[in-house]
């Protein structure tokens, strides 16, 4: 550099070299970061879509019409619709209001509603959206029967609350699997749906109390009449809105009695397992009604990782037919009430 001592020139050239080297290193880091991001995005884009199709329909003749049951991929293979004689029996809106199964556990603390709640159709945050947080792993379909296995999502996301209580789960997808086998027609009764549910409770969890909602049906609000079947009187008796569980099987019917649905559990014998309890609920704001069949499990030494199998019978028809069918089943000495 003209007029500048050689030592100073060398110092200036050295500083420039250092600056250039730092710029090169920074550019290299940015390029590497972008390549990593691109690789992650590409990997996510390359993930295969779900290979199990949850869209299925089975049907069976009943009283001059058909019972038609439909499952969907949107609900990870849970039952979206049951129709008979042109009437829809299920009010499927979000990912909770279906004909489906769920469980709830204490996760080592107090047993609180929905806070550790694997649910077949998906999570609360799925809303009315087109996909489910649950994963359908397996499906088989025949003319009048179907079988699915799904990995259930928790109803609450980790950051969510139910009735002020925080979710105990730390992931949206649980390790709880559910297998159901559904057949339209049972013995000589074409209007009875045999519904077997297996809850696969996994290893690596600590529970002392659990609730198996073996089956629940959310129905349109015009199934407005609530009934309970009295085994002592062998007939249906009026049932108030509750809400909550009681011992007698529940039937929900339309005001004119032309359409009704009831559920019976074939009871299990166990000191630790209590049930069945039959619930009924009316949600006026949401304009939907619900029945459910529930078993409660308590083991102070810890609930075992195991497969818990339950059988139910879902009866479809008019109110008189549902009543006479429950009476007939009751008289066959099936273990309907423990």
Contact indicator for 127, 153 with CB cutoff of 8 Å: no
User: Could you give the CA distance from residue 164 to residue 236 in angstroms, rounded to a whole number?
Assistant: 38
pLDDT grade, residue 271 (50/70/90)? Answer: confident
Output the average pLDDT for the chain.
88
Confidence of residue 7 (pLDDT cuts 50, 70, 90): very low
- How far is the C-alpha of 82 from the C-alpha of 317, rounded, in Å? 12
Question: Are both 14 and 156 inside the same structural domain?
Answer: no
Residue 189 lies in a domain: yes
Q: What percent of the chain has pLDDT over 70?
A: 84
State how many domains the chain has. Answer: 2
Question: In this predicted structure, what is the pLDDT of residue 337?
Answer: 54
- pLDDT tens for 195-218 read 999 999 999 999 999 999 999 999
Domain range spanning residue 2? 1-47
**Is the pLDDT higher at 39 or at 29?**
29
Pair 25, 174 in one domain: no
Higher pLDDT, 79 or 44: 79
Residue 336 belongs to some domain of the structure: no
Same domain for 293 and 192? yes
The CATH code of the domain that includes 318 is: 2.70.98
Q: Are residues 232 and 263 in the same domain?
A: yes
pLDDT of residue 124: 98
Please give the structure tokens belonging to residue 115. 């806070």
Average pLDDT for residues 124-143, to the nearest whole number?
A: 97
* Whether residue 114 has pLDDT greater than 90: yes
Contact 98, 80 (CB under 8 A): yes
Q: What percent of the chain has pLDDT over 90?
A: 80
Shared domain for 75 and 1, answered yes or no, is: no
Taking Cα atoms as reference points, which of 289, 291, 315, 314 lies closest to residue 224? Answer: 289
More confident residue, 254 or 27: 254
Same domain, 169 and 234: yes
Q: Tell me if 337 is assigned to some domain.
A: no
Nearest to 66 by CA among 177, 152, 190: 190
State whether 309 and 221 are in the same domain. Answer: yes
Same domain, 2 and 135: no
Do 314 and 255 fall within a single domain?
A: yes
**pLDDT interval class at 12 (50, 70, 90):** very low
In-domain check, residue 63: yes
Q: What is the mean pLDDT of residues 172-197?
A: 98
| Burial group, residue 263, by CB count within 10 angstroms (0-12, 13-18, 19+) | buried
Residue 105 lies in a domain: yes
Q: Are residues 183 and 241 in the same domain?
A: yes
Q: Is residue 338 part of a domain?
A: no
Shared domain for 194 and 268, answered yes or no, is yes
Query: Which candidate, 142, 150, 151, 136, places its Cα nearest to that of 52?
Result: 136
Report in angstroms the alpha-carbon separations of 113 from 103, 132, 208, 253.
10, 21, 15, 28
Amino acid 209: pLDDT: 98
Q: 31-45, 65-79, 168-182: lowest mean pLDDT where?
A: 31-45
pTM here is: 0.85
Domain's final residue, options 9, 28, 47: 47
Say how far apart CA 131 and CA 73 lie, in whole Å.
7
Q: For residues 147 and 273, state if they share a domain.
A: yes
């Amino acid at each position: 550099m003209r007029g500048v001592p050689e030592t100073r020139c060398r110092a200036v050239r050295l500083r420039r070299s250092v600056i250039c080297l730092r710029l090169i290193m920074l550019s290299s880091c940015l390029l590497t970061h972008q390549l990593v991001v691109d690789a992650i995005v590409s990997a996510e884009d390359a993930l295969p879509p779900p290979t199990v199709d949850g869209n299925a329909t089975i049907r069976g003749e009943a009283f001059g019409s058909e019972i038609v049951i439909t499952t969907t991929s949107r609900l990870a293979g849970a039952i979206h619709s049951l129709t008979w004689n042109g009437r829809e029996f299920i009010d499927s809106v979000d990912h909770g209001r279906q004909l489906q199964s769920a469980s709830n556990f204490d996760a080592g603390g107090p047993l609180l509603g929905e806070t550790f709640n694997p649910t077949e159709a998906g999570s609360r945050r799925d809303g009315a959206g087109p996909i489910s947080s649950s994963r359908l792993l397996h499906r088989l379909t025949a003319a009048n029967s179907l079988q699915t296995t799904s990995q259930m999502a928790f109803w609450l996301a980790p950051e969510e609350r139910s009735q002020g209580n925080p979710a105990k789960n730390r992931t949206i997808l649980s390790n709880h699997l559910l297998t159901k086998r559904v057949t339209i027609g049972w013995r000589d009764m074409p209007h009875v749906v045999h519904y077997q549910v297996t809850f696969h409770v996994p290893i690596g969890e600590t529970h002392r109390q659990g609730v198996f909602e073996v089956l629940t049906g959310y129905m349109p609000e015009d199934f407005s009449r609530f009934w309970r079947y009295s085994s002592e009187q062998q007939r249906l008796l009026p049932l108030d809105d509750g809400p909550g569980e009681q011992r007698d099987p529940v039937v929900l019917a339309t005001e004119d009695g032309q359409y009704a649905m009831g559920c019976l559990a074939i009871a299990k014998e166990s000191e630790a397992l209590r049930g069945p309890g039959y619930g009924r609920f009316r949600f006026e704001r949401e304009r939907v009604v619900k029945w459910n069949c529930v078993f409660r499990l308590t083991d102070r030494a810890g609930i075992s990782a195991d497969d818990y199998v339950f059988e139910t019978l879902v009866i479809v028809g008019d109110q008189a037919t549902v009543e006479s069918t429950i009476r007939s089943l009751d008289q066959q000495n099936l273990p309907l009430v423990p």
